[in-house]
């Protein structure tokens, strides 16, 4: 054997590994320990059992025996033994070669200790491409973990990210840098990675020194080297600044959303004719319960019918030319069918990749009502002034005539005070003239009462309940004329008005319709009510003699009469108009001779 051992020592003297010569029974014949692995062996080295502790224990010894029994290419890498007892993770690379000496088979066993990074770097160059190369200077943080999540290696970027020195890495676990609330979830992911090879990517918040944290994007893969424990490749990309930016954007987005949602103006987005977004003010002002009541509804359903052509035209032009629509007034339809006046603007936006319309509006219904009331009052005041001039002229004329008659009669009596016959005639005429004067004064009193607005408060009145007593009072005239009177108050059963005034209006207009019906025909009178925008409209229509509208400016004049074959003083329509205007309402007339008359009374709410 001396010749064999001499040749063995001569051949492997410069080898940088620990080399053992074994006989066919795996007994150690000789050894060269250039790497110093056998320094801890006590006594003569004779059996593999003696290096059990050096190579990591009984389990690794069993693995080594398995390697020696393999019948593979003697130049191949046959196995790797993990030295778990080392403070720095190391592994024993094992090669063996079978030789024949004087007809007896012998084994050359080569052992070499390598660090984990060196081992994995070599593995990355293998034909299998088991693991990407670990580059210590990579800008991406790279770590290698054992299956129990203990850290084996961390490159410079990973150490900087975790704010830890390389010498302090020993004994550290992934969980030392993981928040307690995240440990359970990540353990589950690692178990799936190892058992099912399910690679995963996640964003997590890492614990670093001083109670601070950093955000990192993690990618994990599994690496398995022949005969070695499984490794976890753990890469980290620092996304702390990105998360900070995203958080700021989310805050700004949340702020913008809050501003839009709680804006004091209505904001609505519609696309291809359908509502896609509406804020709280839209829901409130339009009278809806929730945004779901509006979404995907046709925008046309909320535009007042008379305004639709104009609105559609402007929207079409805006979408084509990308023009801003500025401060326009529109009428919208609320959920309850009432009209809402709005002022706003609109512009073209991109919603889900397609052109859409963003409209911003304010509810000006109350303001519009005030403006309309002001204009109506101005108009009424103008009419009042005109009527007052006419009234003053008529009253002056009607008072002057009887007063002049009285003065003339008195002067006449003074000329012949002893003429009994003359005095008797004067007294008779004085009586008649005084009655005429009293009638004028009574008319004047009635007119002044009718024009005195505010003295009689308005209240909600049921039209049907108010009409029946009037028809009862006129029952004799209705029966004698065989008048047919129909009414329909279903569309607007109530109106806010002065009860006594509305009673008188019904009485006068119905009585006139009966009085001035076509000769030889039974009077036919239709009474209707309806809602229009923010008003209640009452119409009283007859099919009687009608009025020549060439004299329309005199229809509601004091002491104006159009049919002299009937009794009357020309007071009725004047009083009706006075009472209507004193309630802040309006009356209009449409008539044609021989075709009848329609009175339209508009009550403002």
- Average pLDDT of the residues in 593-599: 88
Q: Which residues contact residue 453 at a Cβ distance below 8 angstroms, ignoring those fewer than 6 apart?
A: 581, 582, 583, 584
Q: How confident is the model at residue 236 (pLDDT cuts 50, 70, 90)?
A: very high
pLDDT of residue 64: 75
- Nearest in space to 236 (alpha carbons), one of 170, 165, 152, 144: 144
Q: What percent of the chain has pLDDT over 70?
A: 81
Q: Is the pLDDT of residue 213 over 60?
A: yes
How far is residue 128's CA from residue 77's CA, in Å, rounded to a whole number? 13
Please report where in the chains the tokens 């009669």 appear, as a residue.
409
How far is residue 235's CA from residue 135's CA, in Å, rounded to a whole number? 12
**250 lies in some domain:** no
Q: Are residues 149 and 281 in the same domain?
A: no
pLDDT of residue 216: 93
Q: Are residues 31 and 106 in the same domain?
A: yes
pLDDT of residue 132: 41
Q: Are residues 100 and 189 in the same domain?
A: no
Q: Are residues 475 and 565 in the same domain?
A: yes
> What CATH number does the domain containing 345 carry?
3.30.450.20
- Average pLDDT of the residues in 584-599: 88
pLDDT of residue 129: 38
Q: Is the pLDDT of residue 62 over 60?
A: yes
Print burial letters for 82-114: b (CB count within 10 Å at least 16), e (below 16): bbeeeeebbbbbbbbeeeeeeeeebbbbbbbbb
More confident residue, 398 or 165: 165
Q: Is the pLDDT of residue 535 over 60?
A: yes
- Report for 188-197, 223-232, 444-453: range of highest mean pLDDT: 188-197
Task: Give 153's strand partners.
Answer: 144
More confident residue, 271 or 558: 271
Q: Are residues 507 and 540 in the same domain?
A: yes
294-350 pLDDT per residue, tens: 899 999 889 998 888 888 888 888 888 777 777 788 899 999 888 899 998 888 888
Q: What percent of the chain has pLDDT over 90?
A: 19
**Final residue of a domain: which of 425, 451, 477?**
451
Task: Give 331's strand partners.
Answer: 341
**280 lies in some domain:** yes
437-464 pLDDT per residue, tens: 776 676 666 666 655 554 567 889 999 9
252-289 pLDDT per residue, tens: 767 777 888 888 899 999 999 899 999 999 999 999 99
Q: Are residues 351 and 372 in the same domain?
A: no
More confident residue, 398 or 371: 371
Q: Are residues 447 and 488 in the same domain?
A: no
**251 lies in some domain:** no
For residue 35, what are its two tokens? 């790497």
- Nearest in space to 443 (alpha carbons), one of 402, 488, 482: 402
Whole-number average pLDDT of the chain: 80
**590 lies in some domain:** yes
pLDDT of residue 133: 44
Q: Are residues 317 and 444 in the same domain?
A: no
Among 71-75, 234-238, 476-480, the least confident range: 71-75
pTM (predicted TM-score):
0.42
Q: How many domains does the chain have?
A: 5
Cα distances (angstroms) measured from residue 19 to each of 2, 8, 13, 113? 17, 9, 9, 12
- Nearest in space to 91 (alpha carbons), one of 234, 222, 228, 226: 228
Q: Compute the CA torsion angle 513, 518, 523, 528 (nearest 10 deg).
A: -50
Among 84-98, 444-458, 587-601, the least confident range: 444-458
- Average pLDDT of the residues in 554-561: 58
For residue 89, what are its two tokens? 């993770």
Answer yes or no: are the C-beta atoms of 498 and 456 closer than 8 Å. yes
**Final residue of a domain: which of 363, 381, 400?**
363
Residue 173: give the domain boundaries. Answer: 141-244
Q: How confident is the model at residue 565 (pLDDT cuts 50, 70, 90)?
A: very low
Q: How confident is the model at residue 558 (pLDDT cuts 50, 70, 90)?
A: low
Q: Are residues 478 and 381 in the same domain?
A: no
**481 lies in some domain:** yes
**129 lies in some domain:** no
**133 lies in some domain:** no
- Average pLDDT of the residues in 63-86: 56
Q: Are residues 478 and 585 in the same domain?
A: yes
Q: Is 525 left (phi over 0), alpha (psi -120 to 50) or beta?
A: beta
**255 lies in some domain:** no
Cα distances (angstroms) measured from residue 496 to each of 134, 366, 487, 539? 88, 18, 18, 16
pLDDT of residue 79: 52
The kind and range of the H/E element at 287 are: none
What's the Rg (C-alpha) of the chain?
A: 55
Q: Are residues 441 and 385 in the same domain?
A: yes
Please report where in the chains the tokens 């008072």 appear, as a residue.
399
Q: Are residues 446 and 469 in the same domain?
A: no
Burial tier of 321 (Cβ tally within 10 Å: 0-12, 13-18, 19+) = exposed
How far is residue 558's CA from residue 567's CA, in Å, rounded to a whole number? 15
**Final residue of a domain: which of 182, 210, 244?**
244
């Amino acid at each position: 054997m001396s010749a064999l051992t001499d040749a063995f020592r001569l051949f492997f003297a410069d080898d940088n590994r620990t080399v053992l010569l074994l006989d066919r029974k795996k007994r150690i014949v000789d050894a060269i320990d250039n790497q110093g692995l056998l320094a801890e062996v006590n006594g003569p080295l004779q059996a593999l059992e003696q290096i059990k502790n050096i190579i990591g224990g009984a389990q690794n010894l069993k693995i080594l025996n398995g390697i020696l029994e393999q019948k593979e290419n003697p130049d191949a890498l046959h196995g790797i033994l993990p030295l778990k007892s080392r403070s720095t993770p190391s592994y024993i690379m094992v090669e063996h070669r079978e030789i024949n000496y004087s007809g007896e088979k012998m084994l050359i066993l080569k052992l070499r200790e390598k660090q984990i990074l060196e081992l994995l770097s070599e593995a990355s160059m293998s034909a299998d491409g088991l693991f990407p190369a670990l580059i210590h200077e990579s800008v991406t943080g790279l770590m290698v973990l054992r299956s129990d999540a203990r850290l084996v290696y961390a490159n410079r970027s990973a150490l900087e990210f975790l704010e830890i020195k390389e010498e302090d890495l020993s004994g550290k676990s992934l969980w030392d840098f993981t928040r307690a609330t995240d440990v359970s979830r990540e353990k589950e992911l690692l178990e799936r990675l190892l058992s099912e090879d399910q690679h995963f990517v996640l964003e997590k918040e890492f614990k670093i020194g001083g109670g601070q944290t950093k955000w990192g994007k993690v990618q994990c893969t599994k690496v398995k080297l022949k005969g070695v424990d499984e490794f976890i490749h753990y890469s980290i990309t620092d996304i702390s600044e990105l998360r900070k930016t995203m958080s700021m954007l989310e805050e700004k987005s949340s702020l913008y959303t809050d501003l839009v949602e709680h804006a004091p103006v209505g904001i609505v987005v519609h696309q291809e004719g359908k509502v896609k977004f509406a804020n709280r003010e839209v829901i409130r002002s339009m009278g809806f319960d929730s945004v779901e009541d509006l979404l995907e509804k046709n925008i046309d359903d909320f535009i007042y019918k008379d305004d639709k052509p104009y609105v559609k035209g402007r929207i079409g032009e805006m979408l084509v030319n990308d023009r801003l629509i500025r401060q326009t007034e529109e009428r919208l339809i609320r959920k309850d069918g009432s009209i809402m006046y709005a002022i706003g603007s609109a512009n073209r936006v991109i919603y889900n990749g397609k052109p859409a319309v963003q409209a911003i509006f304010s509810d000006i219904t109350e303001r519009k009502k005030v403006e309309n009331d002001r204009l109506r009052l101005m108009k009424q005041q103008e009419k009042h002034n005109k009527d007052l001039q006419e009234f003053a002229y008529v009253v002056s004329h009607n008072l002057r005539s009887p007063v002049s008659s009285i003065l003339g009669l008195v002067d006449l009596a003074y000329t012949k005070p002893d003429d009994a016959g003359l005095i008797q005639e004067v007294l008779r005429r004085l009586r008649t003239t005084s009655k005429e004067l009293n009638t004028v004064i009574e008319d004047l009193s009635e007119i002044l009462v009718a024009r005195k607005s505010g003295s009689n408060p308005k209240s909600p009145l049921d039209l049907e309940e108010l009409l029946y007593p009037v028809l009862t009072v006129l029952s004799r005239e209705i029966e004698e004329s065989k008048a047919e009177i129909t009414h329909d108050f279903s569309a607007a059963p109530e109106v806010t008005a002065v009860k006594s005034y509305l009673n008188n209006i019904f009485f006068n207009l119905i009585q006139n319709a009966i009085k001035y019906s076509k000769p030889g025909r039974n009077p036919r009178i239709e009474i209707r009510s309806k809602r229009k925008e923010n008003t209640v409209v009452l119409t009283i229509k007859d099919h009687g003699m009608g009025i020549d509208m060439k004299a329309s400016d005199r229809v509601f004049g004091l002491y104006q009469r159009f049919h002299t074959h009937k009794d009357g003083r020309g007071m009725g329509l004047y009083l009706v108009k006075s009472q209507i205007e004193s309630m802040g309402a309006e009356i209009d007339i449409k008539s044609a001779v021989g075709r009848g008359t329609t009175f339209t009374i508009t009550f403002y709410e």
